[in-house]
Amino acid sequence: DPNRVKITTMPVSGRAAEDIVQELQHFAEKEDKMWQLGKVSGTVYSNSDEHTSLMNRVYAAYSWSNPLHPGIWPKLNQCEGEVIAMTADMLHAPPIGSMTSGGTESIILAIRAHWNVYGKRRGIRHPELVCGTTAHAAVYKACDMFGIRVVSIDCNHRHDSFQLNPDRVSKGITSNTIMIYASAPSYPQGVVDPIEALSKIALRYKVGLHVDACLGGFVLPFVDDAPVFDFRNPGVTSMSADTHKYGYASKGTSIVLYRDNTLRHGQYFSYSWWTGGLYSTPTIAGSRPGALSACAWAALVSLGKDGYRERSHLIVNAARAIADGIQLVRGVKLLTPKPFMVVSFTSNEMDIYRIQDYMTKAGWNLNALQSPASVHICVTLNVVPKVDSFLRDLKMSINQVRNEGKGGRKKGTAGVYGTVGSLPAGPVDYSLRAFTDLTLEP
């Protein structure tokens, strides 16, 4: 919006509180409409005004708090400990873990822990991590931070159904391997990796196994036909489960869990020579927003197992209804064989990104995927009532692309991914960084 007023220097005198709140409420109300319409993939997981009000009231109660100071806010530490214990209980883990700022930080810390315990202590100087091409980008971020080589297994090799193939994982393990990374389920296609088989491999080769259940952690335990994906598999050494996704807590928390305390110590940082005093923190941050820890606790105890079960059934049923519908639509092909929340699809007949662009015109906010070119929707409680409307709009979008034929213009997502596909990685990375620059401008 070119008419937007931008602030680039600190105002000399302050503004009235009412004025500030009014401005932000005006924009928030406008911006929230998008996900409230139920046409956004993932992003906002809860759909209840009552639950939003609970989160806001709990946040307000602890808005100045910081778990770095347990002496001042002991209740918060108890809340964090209880969220860790409840999540561990649900995933059949010992109550050993920590609260982090989100899925990415949980993954970074789990990899740091394995690097310390399964890498450095064993004298490994050139550590390697084995994962599938479906692994979340956070794995690459973590490995970039710690200098770990990623051994990436193609999950679409001979149409593997986007599952990490255990035989190919075995072949990828060397004397430098510190851990295997698997998903339950993965972000792109929503496929749960074969955790039981991977667990056996981890035990055989004495390497760690992280199960990324950032999406599935608070859903799969309540779904009858979900595989055993958690610590009941003896080779699983760590897991991540996001309270801020299907845990229905405000954005900014996740739980990372470990099989034993030696591994958890591997994620901590302590420094006893600091001139500022004895220093030890469990996570990357120093100070942390305690209000968010309180929100995570409130979400878990307010919903309970019954609440999570009921919500999980709604999500899984809606995802499967979308998948069943997609299979009946000519022009698109379902890529998620057994959906839990993510449903991914492509097209053999036309450019899938052009279909996505028409879906965007119809008000949908779907996620573009690549290798292979495809799209997904991550079903949230907001999307549940919109299944029929999704399928109707999808058919309409396909017809529009079909009618346009080859002459259809490649703009929007189709244009971006069309260009990216024709460029080497260097310029694409540069453009991504330039885009990130833009997000940091006023």
Ligand X SMILES: Cc1ncc(COP(=O)(O)O)c(C=O)c1O
Contacts with ligand X, residue ranges (CB under 6 A) = 102-104, 136, 138, 183, 186-187, 212, 214-215, 242, 254
With beta carbons less than 8 A apart as the criterion, state whether 138 and 115 touch.
Answer: no
Strands (E), 133-233: 149-153, 177-183, 208-212
Strands 367-369 and 374-378, by their bridges, are antiparallel
Cis peptide bond N-terminal to 337, omega within 30: no
- Geometric angle at alpha carbon 399, from 394 and 404, rounded to 5°: 130
Nearer to ligand X, 42 or 282 (CB): 42
Alpha helices in 130-187 (DSSP H): 137-146, 166-172
Residue 242 Cβ, how far from ligand X at the closest point, in Å? 5
Least Cα distance to 28 among 7, 51, 3, 56 occurs for 56
Contact 343, 379 (CB under 8 A): yes
DSSP codes of every residue in 307-343: HHHHHHHHHHHHHHHHHHHHHHSTT-EE--SS-SSEE
Q: How near is the Cβ of 214 to ligand X at its closest, in Å? A: 4
Q: Which is nearer to ligand X, 183 or 380 (CB)?
A: 183
Question: CB count, 10 Å around CB of 200?
Answer: 17
H or E segment and range at residue 130: strand 128-132
Report in angstroms how near the CB of residue 294 gets to ligand X at its nearest.
19
N- to C-terminal Cα distance for the chain?
A: 12
C-beta neighbour count of 122 within 10 angstroms: 13
Is the CB of 107 or the CB of 334 nearer to ligand X? Answer: 107
* Pick from 67, 108, 90: nearest CA to 220: 90
CB of 216 to ligand X, least distance (A): 8
Q: Which residue is nearest to ligand X (CB)?
A: 103
Per the structure block, which two tokens stand in for 272? 């006893």
- Residue 358 makes CB contacts below 8 A (sequence gap 6+) with 396, 397, 400, 401
